[in-house]
Amino acid sequence: MLGFNRWHLLKGLGAILCIAGIVSLALTYFIPAPPSKIAMATSVIKGTTYDFYAQRYRERFARANVKLEFRESPGSVETLGLLQDAVSGVQFAFMYGGTSDGEHTPGLLSLGIVYNNPFWIFYSSAEPLDRLSQLKGKRIAVGPAGTAVRQVAEQVLGTDGVTATTATFLPIAGTTAVEALRDGKVDAYWIASAPESPAVQTMLRMPNVRLMSFARAEALTRIFPNLVRVTLPQGVFDIAANIPPNDVSLIATTVRILIRGDLHPQIVSLLLQTLIREHGGPGIFQRAGEFPTQTDPEYPMAASVTDFYKNGPSLLQRHLPLWLTVHVQRAIAVLVTAIAIGIPLFNFAPKLYRWFLHDHMRKLYRRLRIVEEAAQTELTAPQVVSLQTELENIDSAARILPQRHSDLFFILQRHITLMRTQLASRLVEVRSRIAKAV
């Protein structure tokens, strides 16, 4: 077949395998498969907002067959360090507003502000307290030293003279602080948590436990630009039981999701879908669609965020599971590349094929010329028979030419016929000469 032999086929197979290997490596590099597990930095304190949402994220990631692991971090500074350390394995985390910014933490990107996290002060008292200064002399659970919650507590309480000198700040939080408040071991608990969190819901229904309203909430937001004022409406948790019994002014801080710049695009997409489902709906302190935001004043936004929030997930992400999406993307990439290469190649293929045919014909004519030259010399009968055998081999090799190239075939056949006649005459001549000699 066009001069191909087993060695040619072997070389062709080797070339195909090499090309397939190179394509596979290129696809793996340019369209890598998403990891089956990723790590998120979260609070060491159970029952906080971070812990509450982290557990919900884990459930949604599990539905996409991605395992979400937690790396406990004692504070915001440590969390930023984990995010910037490639060895830590941490790839995204919550971050309070005002903790840092993109200039001081290069390599980190924002997926937008996902919610306003309110600060609550629950206290045990028979009489209502309406000023922060009334917490002087009290035992206040403000969380471990170095945490963002404690830093905000110290700043806000300090504006009204409540400091570690005038009050007792206890480094407990979460369920431990809730139990301590219930058992009378602390007088107040400063907590940053979502309204739906078990800790907040439990304390709202504790006997002799009240929720303090920040009477000067608006003033605090002017002093601390990263704080916003939110209002907890009367009866919003339970109309019948009237919980809370009156409108409560609270302060809150913005919370964003920060990711590493090298986080896999499919995981970013999964995370964005999770943010919309968890934070995009209406809530006590927000309207539907208010969060996540498409901008972040403190950090640069990831490139895909704006388009995703505007148009939603891609067609593949909408209809295919995460693990299959990357394979379809690779198949599309191969198809597009094949079309881009195939169309010019298809136009060039007839010329290439004709070149192969002419090359094949040249080789056959070269063999025929050798036979013709040999026929002009003195030959024995076996030598003539050998040339006839070679001529028939040339004839067999020429018959693979397709009909549309019959002109080439006709010319070659005419030369072969002439040579066949000549060799037949030579054989008769040689045999006749031998017979006379005998």
pLDDT tens-place string over residues 388-434: 888 888 888 777 666 555 666 777 788 888 888 888 888 888 778 77
Minimum mean pLDDT among 121-130, 150-159, 171-180, 319-328: which range? 319-328
Domain presence at residue 26: no
pLDDT band at 2 (very low <50, low <70, confident <90, very high): very low
Does one domain contain both 389 and 415? yes
Reply yes or no: is the peptide bond before residue 292 cis, omega within 30 of 0: yes
Q: Name, in order, each residue with C-beta under 8 angstroms of 190's C-beta and a sequence gap of 6 or more.
A: 119, 120, 121, 140, 141, 142, 143, 149, 153, 157
Minimum mean pLDDT among 56-60, 112-116, 211-215, 409-413: which range? 409-413
pLDDT tens digits for 62-77? 998 899 999 988 888 8
How much is the pLDDT for 59? Answer: 94
Does one domain contain both 42 and 184? yes
Does one domain contain both 306 and 224? yes
Does one domain contain both 307 and 376? no
**Percent of all residues in the chain with a pLDDT value above 90, rounded to a whole number:** 41
Does one domain contain both 406 and 257? no
Q: Which residue, among 347, 350, 358, 371, has the nearest Cα to 401 in the 3D structure?
A: 358
How much is the pLDDT for 39? Answer: 94
Residues 246 and 409: their CA atoms lie apart, in Å, by: 102
Does one domain contain both 54 and 120? yes
Task: Please determine, for residue 3, whether its predicted confidence score (pLDDT) is greater than 80.
Answer: no
Residues 204 and 123: their CA atoms lie apart, in Å, by: 10
Question: What is the overall mean pLDDT for the chain?
Answer: 84
Average pLDDT over residues 12-16: 70
Average pLDDT over residues 251-261: 93
Does one domain contain both 312 and 394? no
Does one domain contain both 299 and 355? no
Does one domain contain both 312 and 412? no
Q: Which domain holds residue 433?
A: 330-437
Residues 223 and 238: their CA atoms lie apart, in Å, by: 33
The domain total for the chain is: 2
pLDDT tens digits for 229-253? 999 999 999 999 999 999 999 999 9
How much is the pLDDT for 186? Answer: 97
Give the count of beta carbons closer than 10 Å to the beta carbon of residue 353: 13
Domain presence at residue 159: yes
Predicted model pTM: 0.66
